[in-house]
Structure 1
Amino acid sequence: MCRSPEFEMLVSRAVTLFPEDTVLSALQVMHHHAVHALSVVDGRDGAWLGEVSEDELRRLSAFAPLARLAEILTAKALAGTEEKTVAPTTALLLHAPSPRWLH
């Protein structure tokens, strides 16, 4: 089934990952919802922490399938490989509480 980019964008905003999720579980969620990138949000208040792509998770799954997304976002922030990723403390200050996210 071919889905439009607009549909994929709507789904990717509704379905999110949490910092405690592993690379493997994140890939399963992406596969289940047929999306190629998902946001990672704080489980307490829904603050946006960053985004992970299917491609980067597939690369990581070869040697670190149980790595937590918190570790990946931290490494990305330190490496400066993604403009959208912000430190969790900054994210909490910049974002107002959001509605509950689906998982």
Structure 2
Amino acid sequence: MGLLLGRGSFAKVFAAYSITDGDNPVVIKIIDNTKTDSIMETKIICEIKAMRRLQHHPNVLRILEVMATKTKIFIVMELVIGGDLFFKVVQRGRMKKFGARRYFP
């Protein structure tokens, strides 16, 4: 694993390279189960399921692999440069309907 890209109260996100996919750049989100409760674990599982259902949508980050141990969940995702939709809204302000259609066809 490489550079730490971000961290939250119970997870860290690192840059890495895929060993199974031609050394393509990926990100690995590592969730520390020792810092979550059962409600948060349920939310994490729901988020993973939702991302998998939407993985063919052009504006949703693709999950490549999910692995778990007793204390950690590892989510391997595609690397996307430029931030997320929330970041764009914070930077630019509210979107008009026409602009939002680009992200929600």
TM-score (norm 1): 0.29
More strand by share: 2
Does 1 or 2 have the higher relative contact order (CA < 8 Å, sep 6+)? 1
TM-score (norm 2): 0.29
When Rg is computed on C-alpha atoms for both structures, the one with the higher figure is: 2
